[in-house]
Structures are given as structure tokens and as C-alpha cells.
């Protein structure tokens, strides 16, 4: 079974866009840590500020890791670093046609969507902010889940036909 063209192109686009968003988020967070006066392109107003979101407690380890390790621990990484890992894995494993890779991709996508829903709730109900980079990332994560579910269904269908 060959990978459909739409899937390859979609996956590459989504992963590259996700990587771009993650690199930009990391850049904004590090720039803001160095210079508290730094103003990112995505800071459009008081309640539309990605740098405010990225530097909040929820911008590292989903705001949860700090309950288990020190706030400045190497294990308490910015969410954008987790995004870099996630999109790199999605890109690399997405080129494999194995059933195990497909299952892992779906599992990782469900985790990313759960994280996206959690962070969206924090964004809306706790921070009261709108973050264009964050919302774009959530959309990419949902689109990757859709892509991975289609992949898994296609692989299972091909195995049934062959079996």
C-alpha cells in the first residue's frame, strides 16, 4: 500500500507549519524572558497577547510539571519544545506505512488534542486571552488527528483485503 499523495502533502504542510509555530513560540518566550519589554508580532492588544500566554505558568509543562519537579527543572520545558518533538515525530513516523507507526501517530494525536483542549480552556477561562499562535497550533493538532485516523483506517482496510 502506497501513501496517498494528499496525505503526504497534508502531513508535510501540517508538520512544517506546526514546527514553524513552535519555533516562533519558543523565540517569543525566550525573547520575553531576556527583555520583559519585548513585543511580539502576535501581541495585538491587552487581551490578544501570545507572549503573555507563553510566559504564563501554563506555557511550560502545561502548567502541571511544576507540581512534580522544580519550576526551573530541565523537565519543565516550554510547551513549544514539546511541540517541536511532537511535530518531528509526526513527520518522521508519518513516512512509515507500518501499522505500529499508524497506531502511535493516532495515540500521539489524541494526546495533542487533549492537550489542546486543556490549554484552550486555560486560555479562555483562566487567562482570558486570545493567542493566535496557540489557536493555530490547536487547528494543526486536530488536522493531524484527522489525517492519522484516515491513515489507520486505510491501513486496516488494506490488511483486511490482503488477509
Query: With contact defined as beta carbons under 8 Å apart, do 130 and 47 qualify?
Result: yes
**Residues 144, 87: Cα–Cα separation, whole Å:** 9
Stated pTM of the model: 0.91
Q: pLDDT tens string for the chain (163 positions)?
A: 677 788 889 999 999 999 999 999 999 999 999 999 999 999 998 899 999 999 999 999 999 999 999 888 899 999 999 999 999 999 999 998 888 999 999 999 999 999 999 999 999 999 999 999 999 999 999 999 999 999 888 777 766 676 5
Question: CATH number of the domain that 48 lies in?
Answer: 1.20.1440.130
Give the structural domain span for 90.
Answer: 5-162
Query: With contact defined as beta carbons under 8 Å apart, do 91 and 11 qualify?
Result: yes
Q: Please state the domain count of the chain.
A: 1
The phi and psi torsions of 94 (rounded to 5 degrees) equal -65, -15
**Residues 95, 46: Cα–Cα separation, whole Å:** 42
Amino acid at each position: 500500500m502506497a501513501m496517498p499523495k494528499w496525505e503526504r502533502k497534508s502531513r508535510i504542510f501540517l508538520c512544517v507549519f506546526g514546527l514553524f509555530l513552535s519555533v516562533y513560540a519558543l523565540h517569543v518566550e525566550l525573547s520575553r524572558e531576556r527583555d520583559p519589554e519585548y513585543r511580539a508580532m502576535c501581541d495585538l492588544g491587552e487581551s490578544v497577547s501570545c507572549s503573555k500566554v507563553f510566559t504564563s505558568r501554563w506555557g511550560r509543562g502545561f502548567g502541571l510539571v511544576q507540581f512534580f519537579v522544580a519550576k526551573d527543572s530541565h523537565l519543565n520545558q516550554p510547551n513549544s519544545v514539546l511541540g517541536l518533538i511532537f511535530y518531528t515525530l509526526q513527520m518522521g513516523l508519518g513516512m512509515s506505512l507500518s501499522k505500529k507507526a499508524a497506531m502511535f501517530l493516532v495515540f500521539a494525536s489524541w494526546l495533542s488534542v487533549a492537550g489542546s483542549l486543556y490549554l484552550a480552556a486555560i486560555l479562555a477561562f483562566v487567562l482570558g486571552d486570545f493567542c493566535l499562535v496557540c489557536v493555530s497550533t490547536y487547528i494543526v493538532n486536530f488536522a493531524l488527528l484527522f489525517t492519522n485516523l484516515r491513515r489507520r483506517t486505510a491501513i486496516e482496510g488494506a490488511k483486511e483485503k490482503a488477509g
